[in-house]
A and B are shown apart, each in its own frame.
Chain A
Amino acid sequence: METSELIDILAADAAPVRPLTAPWLRTSVWFLISGAYIAILIVAMSHGGTRLLSIRFSRFWLEQAAAIGTGIAAAAAAALSVIPGRSRRWPIVPAFPLTVWLGILASGCMRDWAQHGAAGLMPQPDWPCSMAMLFGAALPAAALTFSVRRGAPLAPATTAALIGLAAGALSSVVACVSRPMPHPTTMTVVVWHLGTLFAMAVAVSVGGRSLLPWPLNPRLAAAIENRSVRAGRAQ
C-alpha cells in the first residue's frame, strides 16, 4: 500500500480526540483509588486496625511514608513515560524515595545488629507478607496499567517495571501495617518485602510489551487490511 493511501485512510478516521489527562492528575486519581483500596485492606486484614493505633515507632511510620512516596513517584514516572517528548530521565525519580526507604531499612538492620548481634540480621520466613503484597498490588497495578494504556508505549518494559514498583511499594504498606505482630528483624522486611517488590517489578517488566502494545482501533486496522488486499489484487 502506498503511503498516500494510508494517509487517506487515517485522515478519514480523524474524529475529535479527548487529550490525555495531565500526568499529575492521573497520578492523583490513581493514588486516591489505590489509597482507598489499601486502607480497606488494612482495616479488613488487621481486624479493625487495633494494632495500627498502637504503633508508636516513628521509624516505622517513616518507613511506610517512604514506601508510599516510592509508589507515588513510580506512578508519576509511569504516567510521564507514555507521553512522547518528555525527558527520558523521569523514570529515575522514584530512585530518590526508594533510597530513603532503603536507608531507613539499613538503619533498622544496624540497630538490630547492635542489639542482637548476628542473630539480628537473620531474616525469618514471612510468606504471609508476600501473599498480602500480591493481593494488595493487584488493584493498584491494574488501575495504573489502565491509566497509561492510552499513551504511547515508548519504553514498555520500563513503564511496566514502574507499574510493578508503584503497586508493590503501596502493597508493602498493607503487608507491614496489617500484621498482628511487628517483624522479628528488619532484615525480614528487606528480604521478603523488597524481594517480593523486586520480583513483581521484574515479572511485570518482562510482560511489558504484551501489557502495553501500541493502541490500534480495530475498525482502522480492518480498513487498512482491506485496502492492502485490494492493492495486492490490483497488482
Chain B
Amino acid sequence: MAEAASTDFRALMIAANRGDAEAYARLLHALAPVVRRLVGANHHRIDDGTVEDVVQDVLLSVHSVRASYDPGRPFMPWLVAIARRRIADAARRTVRRGVHEVALDPDAVTLAAAETNIYGEARARSDVLRVALAQLPRGQRQAIEMLKLRELSLREASAATGSSVGALKVATHRAMTTLRALLKKT
C-alpha cells in the first residue's frame, strides 16, 4: 500500500509510453495491488473465483488503450475509469452466467447428506442385505447365492442344485423383485 502510494504512476506511464519496458514493468507491478483493491471493493458484483481474472483483464485493458493516456492529466482517474468499466463487464458476465446456470453443491457435500442417501446407504449395508436374503424362499435364495454372490454360470449352478437352467432364471428374477421390494421398505 505504502509502496503504491509513493509510486509516481504518471512518470512511469509517460516513460512506458516512450517504450521503457523496465518502467512499464514497475508500473504494472505497482498497479496490480491497486487494481486488486478496486476489484475487491466490488466483490459482491462478481464471482469470488474470478477476482484475479478481472485484475488481469484491467491490466490488459490498460495496456491496450495506453495511447489514450494524456500526460498532461492525472493518472488515477484514467485508471479508475478503465477499471470501473472492466468490473462492470465482469459483473454483467456474472449475471448472464447466473441466468443460464444452476449452482450445485459440490458432490462430496451432496452425497454425504443423509437425506439424499437413505436408499443407497441401506443398500450398501451388508447386514440389511443379509436379513433380506434370509426372508427369501429357499429356491430363490439358493439361486441368488449361486448366480450373484458366488458368480457361478447357469450351467454350473444347475449342476450344483439339480434345478433346470430355466427354473434358475425364473427363481433369480423373482428373487431380485422380492429383494428390491424388501430393501425399499428398510
Which chain A residues border B152 with CB–CB below 8 Å?
A: none
Size class of A's contact patch?
20 to 34
The answer to whether B25 and A3 touch across the interface, beta carbons within 8 angstroms, is no
Interface flag for B8 (CB, 8 Å): no
The answer to whether B67 and A20 touch across the interface, beta carbons within 8 angstroms, is yes
Interface flag for A10 (CB, 8 Å): yes
Chain A CB within 10 Å, residue with most, of B18, B59, B68, B73:
B68
Q: Would you give the shortest CB distance from A13 to chain B, in whole angstroms?
A: 7
The answer to whether A84 and B77 touch across the interface, beta carbons within 8 angstroms, is yes
Which chain B residues border A16 with CB–CB below 8 Å?
A: 17-19
Q: Would you give the shortest CB distance from A19 to chain B, in whole angstroms?
A: 6
Interface flag for A216 (CB, 8 Å): yes
- What is the predominant secondary structure among interface residues of chain A facing chain B? loop
Interface flag for A85 (CB, 8 Å): yes
Among listed A58-66, A97-105, A121-129, A146-154, interface-contacting one: A146-154
A13-38 contact mask (Cβ, 8 Å, vs B): 1 or 0? 11111111000000000000000000
Within 8 A of A (CB), among B17-47: 17-22, 24-25, 28-29, 32
Q: Would you give the shortest CB distance from B3 to chain A, in whole angstroms?
A: 15
Which chain B residues border A154 with CB–CB below 8 Å?
A: 81-82, 85
Q: Would you give the shortest CB distance from B38 to chain A, in whole angstroms?
A: 13
Which chain A residues border B71 with CB–CB below 8 Å?
A: 19
Q: In this complex, what residue of B is CB-closest to A19? A: B67
- What is the predominant secondary structure among interface residues of chain B facing chain A? helix
Which chain A residues border B21 with CB–CB below 8 Å?
A: 11-12, 14
Interface flag for A214 (CB, 8 Å): yes
Q: In this complex, what residue of B is CB-closest to A88? A: B81
The answer to whether B68 and A20 touch across the interface, beta carbons within 8 angstroms, is yes
Q: Would you give the shortest CB distance from B41 to chain A, in whole angstroms?
A: 18
The answer to whether B81 and A19 touch across the interface, beta carbons within 8 angstroms, is no
Interface flag for B55 (CB, 8 Å): yes
Q: Would you give the shortest CB distance from A148 to chain B, in whole angstroms?
A: 10
A83 to B68, CA, bound (A): 6
| CB-CB under 8 A for A3 and B55, given A11-B21, A152-B85, A154-B85 | yes
| CB-CB under 8 A for A3 and B56, given A11-B21, A85-B73, A85-B77 | yes
The answer to whether A151 and B68 touch across the interface, beta carbons within 8 angstroms, is yes
Q: In this complex, what residue of B is CB-closest to A13? A: B63
A85 to B72, CA, bound (A): 12
B63-79 contact mask (Cβ, 8 Å, vs A): 1 or 0? 11111111101100111
| CB-CB under 8 A for A11 and B25, given A6-B56, A17-B17 | yes
A16-B17, A215-B64 given. 18 additional CB < 8 A pairs? Answer: A3-B52, A3-B56, A6-B56, A7-B25, A10-B59, A11-B24, A13-B63, A84-B68, A84-B77, A85-B73, A85-B74, A85-B78, A151-B68, A152-B65, A152-B68, A154-B85, A214-B61, A216-B64
**Residues on B facing A (Cβ under 8 Å):** 16-22, 24-25, 28-29, 32, 52, 55-56, 59-61, 63-71, 73-74, 77-82, 85
